[in-house]
Amino acid sequence: MIVLEKGATSFHAMLDLTMMAFNSGIERTGKEWKTLLDSAGFDVINMWSHGGDADGIIEAMIKLQFSPSNIN
Protein backbone atom coordinates (compact mmCIF):
# COMPACT_ATOMS: atom_id res chain seq x y z
CA MET A 1 0.00 0.00 0.00
CA ILE A 2 1.09 3.53 -0.69
CA VAL A 3 -0.35 5.89 1.92
CA LEU A 4 -0.68 9.65 1.49
CA GLU A 5 2.02 11.74 3.22
CA LYS A 6 -0.75 13.81 4.89
CA GLY A 7 -4.46 13.20 5.28
CA ALA A 8 -4.52 9.40 5.41
CA THR A 9 -7.96 8.08 6.33
CA SER A 10 -8.76 6.41 9.64
CA PHE A 11 -9.26 3.18 7.66
CA HIS A 12 -5.62 3.30 6.51
CA ALA A 13 -4.47 4.05 10.06
CA MET A 14 -6.42 0.99 11.26
CA LEU A 15 -4.82 -1.18 8.57
CA ASP A 16 -1.40 0.11 9.59
CA LEU A 17 -1.99 -0.88 13.23
CA THR A 18 -3.35 -4.28 12.17
CA MET A 19 -0.31 -4.98 10.00
CA MET A 20 2.01 -3.94 12.83
CA ALA A 21 0.21 -6.11 15.40
CA PHE A 22 -0.03 -9.28 13.31
CA ASN A 23 3.15 -9.43 11.25
CA SER A 24 5.43 -6.53 12.24
CA GLY A 25 4.55 -4.82 8.94
CA ILE A 26 3.70 -1.19 8.26
CA GLU A 27 2.07 0.82 5.54
CA ARG A 28 4.44 3.20 3.83
CA THR A 29 4.21 6.55 2.09
CA GLY A 30 5.72 6.99 -1.36
CA LYS A 31 8.77 8.62 0.21
CA GLU A 32 9.20 5.70 2.63
CA TRP A 33 8.94 3.18 -0.22
CA LYS A 34 11.61 5.06 -2.18
CA THR A 35 13.93 5.07 0.84
CA LEU A 36 13.38 1.35 1.48
CA LEU A 37 13.88 0.34 -2.15
CA ASP A 38 16.95 2.58 -2.46
CA SER A 39 18.51 0.89 0.59
CA ALA A 40 17.81 -2.51 -1.03
CA GLY A 41 19.60 -1.53 -4.26
CA PHE A 42 16.66 -0.46 -6.43
CA ASP A 43 15.85 2.73 -8.36
CA VAL A 44 12.16 3.72 -8.32
CA ILE A 45 11.08 4.45 -11.89
CA ASN A 46 7.45 5.42 -11.23
CA MET A 47 4.63 5.09 -8.70
CA TRP A 48 0.93 4.96 -9.50
CA SER A 49 -1.88 5.27 -6.96
CA HIS A 50 -5.50 6.40 -6.80
CA GLY A 51 -5.15 9.47 -4.61
CA GLY A 52 -7.02 8.61 -1.40
CA ASP A 53 -6.91 4.90 -2.16
CA ALA A 54 -3.81 3.20 -0.74
CA ASP A 55 -3.53 0.56 -3.46
CA GLY A 56 -0.78 1.32 -5.90
CA ILE A 57 1.94 0.02 -8.17
CA ILE A 58 5.64 0.72 -7.83
CA GLU A 59 7.91 0.24 -10.84
CA ALA A 60 11.53 -0.28 -9.79
CA MET A 61 14.68 -1.76 -11.23
CA ILE A 62 17.99 -2.95 -9.86
CA LYS A 63 20.54 -0.15 -9.68
CA LEU A 64 23.29 -0.45 -12.23
CA GLN A 65 26.68 -0.57 -10.60
CA PHE A 66 29.73 0.13 -12.69
CA SER A 67 33.28 -0.64 -11.74
CA PRO A 68 36.49 -0.56 -13.80
CA SER A 69 36.43 -4.38 -13.98
CA ASN A 70 33.01 -4.29 -15.72
CA ILE A 71 34.25 -2.13 -18.60
CA ASN A 72 35.84 -3.95 -21.56
Please write the tens of the pLDDT for every residue from 9-54: 888 888 888 888 888 778 888 999 999 999 999 999 999 987 666 6
Domain of residue 8, residue span: 2-70
The pLDDT score that the predictor gives to residue 15 is 84
pTM: 0.67
pLDDT at 57: 92
pLDDT of residue 5: 79
The Cβ of residue 21 has, within 10 Å, a number of other Cβ atoms equal to 9
Number of domains composing the chain: 1
pLDDT digits (tens, 9 = 90+) for 54-68: 688 999 999 987 766
Cα radius of gyration (the chain) = 16
CB 27 within 8 A of CB 3: yes
pLDDT at 67: 66
